[in-house]
A and B are shown apart, each in its own frame.
Chain A
Amino acid sequence: MEENTRAGAPITPAPLCRAPAQGAGISGSTAADTTLGRAPAQGAGNKAGGETGSEAEKIIEIRDLEKVYRNGAIEVAALRGVSLDIHKGEFVAIMGTSGSGKSTFMNILGCLDRPTGGIYCLEGLDINEYDDNELSLIRNQKVGFVFQSFNLIPRTSALKNVELPMVYGKVPAAKRHARAHALLDKVGLGDRYGHMPNELSGGQRQRVAIARALTNHPPILLADEPTGNLDSKSSIEIMELFAELNNDGNTVILVTHEPDIAEWAHRVITFRDGLIISDRTNPPKAPM
């Protein structure tokens, strides 16, 4: 690892990855609980975008994050020292053009990939310390993915799709059914439990995907261009749903290249050439 003295990456003696008393560890499953979303820890105190008051719990701590891809003798640095904190209850948009490093950053945030340098702590867990199977468990318990192309399992009902993370989280069948039903009700698909993905519209598929992301009460919702394949009406509906989930206390991280989608977030972080070039708060958009 390189020395930690590059610009914008000050040496931080602050203790990282000290597991908070609550909600840490990857063994405990909270998915058995059928209540929706995560209750906000501090009430409405962290609603204001970008306000990182000391009372709000840090969910993500990132220091000097680097990612270098090696292709033979050629090295390509996708991330060149990124530091960032995200607190519980935030609604963050990550922007950037293609090649800016935002996709690499999102893969690392979602524990699909490991950094080649720096530290990423998710709820007090240093993900560099875990092997592939443990990362699977971390993804299962701590990350709710929403993808641009929905990524539902084909020929599998909406209900079964929503249950899937609980299957891998070893939640008993009866509890899985109850929670999946409740989540589909929550995203407004209460009448389409048994529908196959190809029987649903794009907006409906994305709702199923959002319900699936919520199943194991993950501390972060990670949405990668969630409206990229949707028409403008469905896009607004999906963004309203994210705003509502954030309002319920969920931490939402949104990766997008569309400025009007980013406007829904309370904090907008912009990447260019593997570095953060701006990190601004955003007046929250009033739900329509």
Chain B
Amino acid sequence: MLFLENVKLALLAIKSNKMRSFLTMLGIIIGTSSVIAITTIGDGASSAVSAEFDSFGKNNANIYPNTYGMDYSDSSDRFTSSDIAALNERFGSEIEYVSPYYSAATDVKIGRMSGQFNLSSVSGNYIHVSGGSLAYGRDFSQSDIDNRREFVIIPEEAAKKFFGRGDVAGESISMSFAGQIREMTIIGVYRQKDSIFSRLMSGTSYAAYVPYTLWNDAPSEILDLYVGSSQSISASLDKITSYLALIHKRPADHYIGSSVEAQQTRMTQIMGVLSVAIGAIAAISLLVGGIGIMNIMLVSVTERTREIGIRKSLGAKTGDILVQFLIEAMLVSALGGLIGATLGIGVATVGMGLANVSVNVDPFVVLLSVGFSAMVGMFFGLYPARKAAKLDPIEALRYE
């Protein structure tokens, strides 16, 4: 019997039992829609996060002493300018940037404008290696760092807010950090790459940079580091941490290097585990949906026993009846898959729209879910369809 005839028959059967068909599909709809919504949101989130990591620079790493199991870290563990000098001497060709890391928050008031700045300590070249660019003015020179000049680089938005214009190089600004109030001179205005974090941060506080030497060589717990983009970050970190351990006379594994790349890898691993878990849940819901389909198909076969008998008496072969019921089961579940996919994409689009992240629907995922639903329908429809096909025509015709 022709395939198209069977599809028409199946559609008729679905149409004449709309409520039942819908309820049968519901398991499949819920299964596929949740899978598609979650995978789409997951994909969007992980690509947004990985873009974020890229904006930090994958060759960025922090080094800190391993204080696990200790109440406090020994100040001789910490980093000073002598460590910077030693590292620059030993690994000068591999390291693009290295600085002890300090941070401070300071309130700033200029005229009627007030706001908060988050200050980070840097050495020269930070704006460039971190992926930003200077809009006005200049970056810190080595002599600025060495001579502890009270210079600051502020973001363009802050310049516009406090001074009403971008080019504010040479203006001064009063800031309080590292134990004293200072009259800082703005030597540069930088422009950050657009990112989720910068959008989230805007309006609350501004990230500004000052020379690390202004902290007067107070030991720092964290070393901020960028290696050359041609270097393998993990190999470089291994060498650097063991060298630092040597200088500080500590065991070779005393210092921990945590790279953005490693964090990203860890994040990707977590996402991978998460999608496997979601896949398992989806498989369970599709299994439940499939059992629902089998149940309803069995009811349908019993209800239509007489019809099956009529069809057989009119010349339907075993295979004709089998295919008829299989196609019906497949169509119900594929339709459920399609509705579920549409629903899932809708939910993902709305959800990601709220988070202001673009949705990227993978047509392969949609196709896979519809195809997989049809397979579930075929698998669970097989038993009822075989039962229908094997009916004895005489018994079936007699069925009331």
Q: Give me the interface of A with B, judged by CB distance under 8 Å.
A: 107, 110, 112-113, 132-133, 136-137, 139-141, 145, 147, 151-156, 164-165, 167-170, 212, 216
Which 3 pairs, one residue from A and one from B, show the smallest C-beta to C-beta distance? A140-B315, A168-B315, A136-B317
* Contact, CB under 8 Å: B313 / A155: no
* Contact, CB under 8 Å: A139 / B314: yes
| Cα-based distance from A137 to B1 in the complex (angstroms) | 12
A-B contact count (CB 8 A): 62
Known contacts A137-B317, A141-B315; can you find 5 more A-B pairs with CB under 8 A? A112-B393, A132-B318, A151-B306, A168-B311, A212-B314
Closest CB in chain B relative to A232 CB, distance in Å: 25
* Contact, CB under 8 Å: B318 / A151: no
Which chain A positions have C-beta within 8 A of B319? 133
* Contact, CB under 8 Å: B394 / A136: no
| Cα-based distance from A148 to B85 in the complex (angstroms) | 105
* Contact, CB under 8 Å: B394 / A169: no
Which chain B positions have C-beta within 8 A of A154? 307
B316's nearest neighbour on chain A, judged by CB, is: A168
Closest CB in chain A relative to B231 CB, distance in Å: 71
Q: Give me the interface of B with A, judged by CB distance under 8 Å.
A: 1-2, 5, 12, 16, 306-307, 309-320, 393-394, 397
- The one of B2, B12, B394, B397 in contact with A155, judged by C-beta atoms closer than 8 angstroms, is B12
Counting chain B CB atoms within 10 Å of each CB, the highest count among A112, A155, A169 belongs to A112
A144's nearest neighbour on chain B, judged by CB, is: B314
* Contact, CB under 8 Å: B394 / A164: no
Closest CB in chain A relative to B301 CB, distance in Å: 15
A107's nearest neighbour on chain B, judged by CB, is: B394
| Cα-based distance from A164 to B5 in the complex (angstroms) | 10
Closest CB in chain B relative to A107 CB, distance in Å: 5
B16's nearest neighbour on chain A, judged by CB, is: A155
* Contact, CB under 8 Å: B397 / A168: no
Which chain A positions have C-beta within 8 A of B397? 112, 147, 151
A136-B307 CB under 8 A given contacts A112-B393, A113-B394, A168-B320? no
Which chain A positions have C-beta within 8 A of B317? 132-133, 136-137, 168
A165-B307 CB under 8 A given contacts A107-B394, A155-B16? no
* Contact, CB under 8 Å: A137 / B315: yes
Which chain A positions have C-beta within 8 A of B315? 136-137, 139-141, 165, 168-169, 216
Which chain A positions have C-beta within 8 A of B314? 139-140, 145, 164-165, 168, 212
* Contact, CB under 8 Å: A153 / B307: yes
A167-B1 CB under 8 A given contacts A112-B393, A113-B394, A133-B317? yes
B5's nearest neighbour on chain A, judged by CB, is: A167
* Contact, CB under 8 Å: A167 / B2: yes
Closest CB in chain A relative to B312 CB, distance in Å: 7
* Contact, CB under 8 Å: A151 / B310: yes
| Cα-based distance from A103 to B315 in the complex (angstroms) | 20
B309's nearest neighbour on chain A, judged by CB, is: A151
Which chain A positions have C-beta within 8 A of B394? 107, 112-113
| Cα-based distance from A112 to B311 in the complex (angstroms) | 12
| Cα-based distance from A156 to B15 in the complex (angstroms) | 12
| Cα-based distance from A154 to B12 in the complex (angstroms) | 11
* Contact, CB under 8 Å: B313 / A168: no
* Contact, CB under 8 Å: A145 / B313: yes
Which chain A positions have C-beta within 8 A of B320? 136, 168
Which chain B positions have C-beta within 8 A of A212? 314
A-B contact pairs, 12 of them (CB 8 A): A132-B318, A137-B315, A139-B315, A140-B314, A151-B397, A153-B307, A153-B310, A153-B311, A154-B307, A155-B16, A168-B311, A168-B320
Which chain A positions have C-beta within 8 A of B2? 167, 170
Which chain A positions have C-beta within 8 A of B12? 155-156
* Contact, CB under 8 Å: B5 / A139: no
* Contact, CB under 8 Å: A112 / B16: no
* Contact, CB under 8 Å: A110 / B313: yes
| Cα-based distance from A155 to B394 in the complex (angstroms) | 22
* Contact, CB under 8 Å: B311 / A164: yes
* Contact, CB under 8 Å: B1 / A139: no
B13's nearest neighbour on chain A, judged by CB, is: A155
Which chain B positions have C-beta within 8 A of A107? 394
Closest CB in chain A relative to B302 CB, distance in Å: 15
| Cα-based distance from A5 to B16 in the complex (angstroms) | 57
Closest CB in chain A relative to B355 CB, distance in Å: 48
| Cα-based distance from A140 to B315 in the complex (angstroms) | 4
A151's nearest neighbour on chain B, judged by CB, is: B310
| Cα-based distance from A197 to B2 in the complex (angstroms) | 24
* Contact, CB under 8 Å: B16 / A168: no
Counting chain A CB atoms within 10 Å of each CB, the highest count among B312, B314, B317, B318 belongs to B314
Counting chain B CB atoms within 10 Å of each CB, the highest count among A132, A141, A152, A168 belongs to A168
Which chain B positions have C-beta within 8 A of A164? 311, 314
Closest CB in chain A relative to B317 CB, distance in Å: 4
* Contact, CB under 8 Å: B316 / A136: yes
| Cα-based distance from A126 to B318 in the complex (angstroms) | 21
| Cα-based distance from A141 to B315 in the complex (angstroms) | 8
Closest CB in chain B relative to A64 CB, distance in Å: 22
B314's nearest neighbour on chain A, judged by CB, is: A165
Closest CB in chain B relative to A149 CB, distance in Å: 9
Which chain A positions have C-beta within 8 A of B1? 167-168, 170
A165's nearest neighbour on chain B, judged by CB, is: B314
A215's nearest neighbour on chain B, judged by CB, is: B314
Closest CB in chain B relative to A100 CB, distance in Å: 17
Which chain B positions have C-beta within 8 A of A139? 312-315
